[in-house]
Structure 1
Amino acid sequence: MASSPITLVVRPRGRPIRNLPETITVSPDAGTTEIFEKIADASQFSIHRLRVTKGSDGTPIPKSTEIPVHDTGLRNKSAVDVKDLGPQIGWQTVFLIEYLGPILIHPLFYYGRSFIYGTSEPPSKLQTISFIMFVLHFLKREYETLFVHRFSAATMPFKNVFRNSAHYWLLSGLNSAFWIYSPNSPTAGPSNPLITYTGIALYVIGELCNFSTHMTLRNLRRPGSTDRGIPKGLGFNIVTCPNYTFEIISWVGVWLVTWSLSTAVFLVAAIAPMTAWAVKKEKRYRKEFGDKYKRKRFVIMPGIY
């Protein structure tokens, strides 16, 4: 037998929200998304722009079709606080913008050497290899964004796109390209075959294995769902996030080919957040799956961290 509808008191938090209803009526047996939909319909905001928390203790209320309103502890006359998160942008769009930077910037420097550096010499063999490695890496990322990744969160605040993009547009784009294609760069001189081919091998192995782990993670989540399973397969029995492991291996390969400080700076700047994300993921796996999950001592690099 269905439970009777309950009335929730709606209170604004932070910036004012026009047309925010004072109360909404929902079914306690319905998914919590009904709370967001009722508020969104009245305020004419996207549900992704709204953050809803319990008025009693500030606990966030998830947007879920599977978690009933009753299970959140909300009862008749309970209060919920609503915050406007501001204009939003889809995560997929954010990634597409981020990775587009290096794809545009590297050809600009590679083909525009005569205008940028005032040289008539063609790019060296190492500069051409470096160019191919950078562009292929980010084209792969664009492909994965469009056809592989499934996002647990639909949107993020629009203002964050500039901060997120700076890492790729400035460090792996502008800074790396400027130094790598310079006539005074180490890449402008002769190559050391042993180092160069080792770098290419690491790059290829890293990219292919990274793609494999992304496919594993993709297959853990049903389309349109946010459920997660325990990842198994290549590298997952050794570290928490082998996708980051292979990403690092790939960029070590790029560094060996370019032998550029700018590549090393980008690599170090990328390792720091990847480590933090991997630590959080390990904690989440342990909490979510309990004894079913084989705990990992190292999150990215075996024997190191």
Structure 2
Amino acid sequence: MDFKDYYQVLGVERTASDDEVRKAYRKLARKYHPDVSKEPDAERRMRDINEANDVLRDKEKRAAYDTLADRVARGGNPQGDFQPPPGWDEGFEFHRASQGGPADHADFSDFFSSVFGAAERRSATRQNHRARGEDHHAAIEISVEEALNGAEREIALRGLETGTDGQPELRTRTLSVKIPAGVHPGQLIRLARQGLPGHGGEPAGDLYLEVRIAPHKLYRVDGRDLYMTLPVTPTEAALGAQVQVPTPGGGAVEVTVPARARAGLKLRLKGRGFAGHPPGDLYLLLEIALPPADSDAARAAYVQLAKAAPFNPRSHLGV
């Protein structure tokens, strides 16, 4: 059994504040949670992350762990056949079980059990399993319009819950979610008391939903900005024009296409993206749409244009 470096697991320094530990845990939980992660070792990594967070977010456990780490460092190589030094936890009192008692730590490592197992059992017995429930994380996919305007949605979530026999079982629950207007990709929506139940009368944890934006037929999301392809005719591009453009917030606006515009030109509609400080923008990428030569009149017009305005688009190629 190896000694576990919980600071290394969360990617924080030993001097990290409680807020830094919390932010590091949430970032890693979003990346490796088995419900959303495509990483091949997501389940194992998530167990290590939960274990490290369990220790470092609890002041009593963290102080005891730091003391143990110092003793191990003075004793040499912490890898290999590690065993906690006798009496290492003398003088420490664990006032509560961070995640609701030893049963919640069934999947934690042998290292955790050897270090904190007995203390957890003592704490659970003294406190009658009094502990706030664990927070959970999940993802919710919404449309661009829902993100901009807000909406109410019902979502179904699958997760492990403790059955009447005390054993974990997979259950599905339905929740009503109010999506606030102006949410953007990656933002977390907090549902209070929708995490795991608490113990001994303590409140349940919270559920954090990570916002994801579904692909849209018109708009492409890039951070707080939106991009849309705007088709224009050769005449509109050459001479300039006023054209109508639909906006993601509803309705249409009139946009000026400058004369001699080329395909790929980017026009900016300030503040028409996602809300924020500053708000995002809507960018229009011009695309030249050629009228079809599907009639005698159309073909004659193309012939006349070629004669009136000779043009070689391959001149820069040297041919």
Fold shared by both chains (TM-score > 0.5)? no
Task: Point out the structure with the larger helix share.
Answer: 1
Task: Point out the structure with the larger strand share.
Answer: 2
